[in-house]
A and B are shown apart, each in its own frame.
Chain A
């Protein structure tokens, strides 16, 4: 059984570039989440989809971050334009979205903006 798959695993971008991170959730899961992971802040929620509908879109991250879910098995996170402070690990997670089900995380994409 495939878990959550994220590509690429590493990305290096120049300041001002547009980058797109990809995520394939666990098959059959209804909920999908994007998190940003840094040493200082820990994990911060960027976006949340339920059955492909955007339920929550990031507060402080709305400005240059846009997550989309065009079908139930694929999601993207676009950062445009990138800034050095965006350097972090971006994690995608999915779950069935019902009581007492486990959330599964991908291994993440490590983004470095220079």
Chain B
């Protein structure tokens, strides 16, 4: 069955350092991969989407890579700040025939990032 794993439940880093989160998957060939941020008691907030034919995407201090051979995505937050503390979710999606691809996402359990001042 499809499986998606995020490397650790929790990651603690010092302010200013780069946080690197890992997402690995098996038994799946996603058309795209997304990263979300979720704060306690809130819904997930979309951060970045990367498609299977893309190697890297950047948005401000965020960078995501996607290696379909290794079946792995890395999510980086550079110059991390305490405000970056949250749970980060990785999600895989497939394109469907009718074009409805965005809804059926497979999520990992998330990695809780804590950035200490």
A, B in one complex: no
Q: Which residues of B contact A (CB under 8 A)?
A: none
Q: Which residues of A contact B (CB under 8 A)?
A: none
